[in-house]
């Protein structure tokens, strides 16, 4: 399971041609429901690409992408993506009071993890979200991983998380420093062995 910071554009902008915000949301949902499984348009972002890369590395003996399914979906999409903060504010992290209200009212991440029972959880949130991570998982321990700064890659220990839980930067930041392959490889080695 991969966990991002917060979704960007979690709600479409209101289309003034539609009478209400509800109609605008319904229209956006209709577009998504006709786009095919996993809505191919969302598969191009760095978070989705890094999630698939990690999944393939952790499941290297799994089946390859089925060419009959096309590039939009296939067996390499056997991971779950979710977010630490469930809503954005103008495509950015919500202001602290709003973030607190969102997370208090919609604190479902621990339940998502409990229901899904993943073997590995990777928080692509970066160290600036550590306080939100600890607020979501009270008394979570953020521990160093040998060979990496604690900012780059940390192990997260908490009774509600699987043994193999890690926090690193978002994939777009890791890509800029060319650190993404090394971080994914280290997570995979710690989670599955050589």
Q: CATH number for the domain including 48? A: 3.40.470
**In this model, does residue 20 exceed pLDDT 90?**
no
Q: Which of 55-64, 109-118, 119-128, 175-184 has the lowest mean pLDDT?
A: 55-64
- Evaluate whether residue 34 is within a structural domain: no
How much of the chain, in percent, has pLDDT values that exceed 90? 26
Domain encompassing residue 137: 2-9+43-192
- Evaluate whether residue 37 is within a structural domain: no
- Evaluate whether residue 62 is within a structural domain: yes
What gap in Å lies between CA 68 and CA 87, rounded to an integer? 35
Please tell me the total count of domains within the chain. 1
Specify the pairing of strand 141-144 against strand 153-157.
antiparallel
Q: Which of 7-11, 73-77, 178-182 has the lowest mean pLDDT?
A: 73-77
Buried b / exposed e over 129-153, threshold 16 CB at 10 Å, is bbebbebbbeebeeeebeebeeebb
How much of the chain, in percent, has pLDDT values that exceed 70? 70
């Amino acid at each position: 399971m991969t966990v991002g910071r917060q979704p960007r554009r979690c709600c479409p902008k209101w289309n003034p041609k539609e009478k209400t915000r509800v109609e605008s949301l319904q229209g956006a949902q209709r577009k998504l429901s006709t786009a095919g499984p996993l809505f191919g348009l969302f598969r191009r972002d760095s978070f989705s690409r890094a999630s698939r890369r990690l999944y393939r590395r952790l499941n290297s003996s799994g089946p390859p992408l089925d060419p009959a399914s096309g590039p939009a979906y296939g067996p390499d999409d056997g991971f779950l993506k979710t977010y630490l903060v469930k809503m954005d504010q103008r495509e950015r992290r919500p202001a602290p009071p709003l973030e607190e209200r969102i997370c208090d009212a919609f604190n479902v991440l621990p339940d998502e993890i409990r229901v899904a029972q993943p073997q590995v959880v990777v928080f692509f949130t970066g160290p600036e979200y550590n306080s939100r991570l600890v607020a979501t998982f009270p008394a979570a321990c953020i521990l160093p991983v040998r060979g990496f700064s604690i900012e780059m890659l940390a192990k997260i220990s908490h009774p509600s998380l699987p043994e193999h839980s890690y926090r690193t930067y978002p994939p777009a930041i890791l890509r800029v420093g060319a650190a993404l392959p090394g971080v994914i490889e280290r997570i995979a080695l710690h989670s599955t062995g050589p």
